[in-house]
Structure formats: C-alpha cells, structure tokens
Structure 1
Amino acid sequence: MRSNAYKPEPHLRFSQRKPEHPGLFLERCYLKPLAISQSELARHLGISRRRINEIVNAQRAVSADTALKLAVFFQTTPMFWLEKQQLWELYEATRKK
C-alpha cells in the first residue's frame, strides 16, 4: 500500500533538529543578556510593543522591515534575522507535510 505522506527527496530533507524561532532567539541572546525590555526595543525600533511581543512569543514572523530594524539596532545584518525566520518556516512546512 502506498503512503500519501509527503517524503522529500534526500537532498531536500532538512535537519531533524527543530530550529529556534527568531523571536525566541531574540529574547534569549539579545533582550535578556542586554537587559532590554520588549517595550524599550519597540520604542527604539519605532514599532509597536505588541509586534515585538508576538515575535518573541513565536506568534509572528520577522518581516523584512523588522529584520532591517533589528539589524541596525543590534549591528547584525538583515539576512541574519531573515535566515533564522526562513529556517523556522522550512521546518514548520516540512513538519506539516
């Protein structure tokens, strides 16, 4: 009997290890160590506290706009944040298949 479950080709398989959502990474590696509150970060970035809170709680994706703002504030690159988001989305997509 043939299974209908999606099984990606070997070269399309991703790590079985669950990547960290970029918002959780933001909190763990930047906000907590630097003692920056979500409200402070939102103020500095010129975005709503709710937007930061939803990102930190893995309820919202890091958009290109947010990646640019985070990159300037934390002296990283926008791609740093977008790659973390993309890894998360790929993991979620393969898990749902």
Structure 2
Amino acid sequence: MSHSDSSQHPGTVLRKRFMVPYGLDSDRLAADLGVPANRLEDVLAGQRSITADLALRLGRYFGTAPLYWMNLQSRFDLHVTGTVMADDIAREVRPFQKRVA
C-alpha cells in the first residue's frame, strides 16, 4: 500500500485499482457482491466507509485479504482526522512521561 493511498478514500482505490482495470461498473460489482447499488455508489463517491461486511465481500470477490480493505479505511480515517484535529490534539493531550523511581 503506497503512502498516497492513506490520503485517498478507499472508494477511490477500489475504482482505480480494481474496477477500471477489470472493466467493472458499479451496478455489476454491487450485484456480484450482493449489496445495494446505492451503498456501493456511496463508497465510490467517498460518502460512506468500508465496513467489515463490505471488506469481507470485496476480499472474497477480488481474492484479497479483508484486512486490506479495512486498512485502507483506517489509514484514510487517521489521515483525515489527523489533518483536521492535529492542532487540537497537540494542545489538549499531554504525553505520558514515565516516572523514574
């Protein structure tokens, strides 16, 4: 997984790395996965996260580890949250300091 993947929504990765190369459209993929088309469209549009259920379905379909899809989502979430919350976290959280006995 490249560093740039962490700043891309998993739906973008799904489209670019899997759907486009295999010539899949969202209706076919949704039907093959057994999920509602609007659910998949929301993921592809970056408006919905990859859930454990969808990760398992994508893993089975593409022969990938479900953890691949969950990691894409986690990395994206950390990137977005870290970007938005970095200053607040730096100001509010006092790092743990081990006390020497």
Q: Compute the TM-score of the two structures, normalised by the length of structure 1.
A: 0.80
SS in 2 for 1:60: coil
What are the ranges of 5 or more consecutive residues in structure 2 without an aligned counterpart? 86-101
Bigger radius of gyration = 2
SS in 1 for 2:14: helix
Aligned CA-pair RMSD = 1.8
Q: Which residue number in structure 1 is paired with residue 76 of structure 2?
A: 88
Percent identity, aligned pairs only, is 28
Report the count of equivalent residues: 83
Q: Which residue number in structure 2 is paired with residue 36 of structure 1?
A: 24
Q: Which residue number in structure 2 is paired with residue 7 of structure 1?
A: none
Deviations 1:11-37, CA, capped at 9 Å, x for gaps: xxxx79962111000000111110111
What are the ranges of 5 or more consecutive residues in structure 1 without an aligned counterpart? 1-14
Return the structure number with greater helix share. 2
Matched, 1:79 2:67: yes
| Counterpart mapping for 1:1-97 below 5 A | 19-97=7-85
Tell whether the 8 Å contact from 2:6 to 2:72 is kept in structure 1 after alignment: no
Q: Compute the TM-score of the two structures, normalised by the length of structure 2.
A: 0.77
Structure 1 residues 66 and 95: alpha-carbon distance in aligned structure 2, compared to 1, 3 A threshold: same
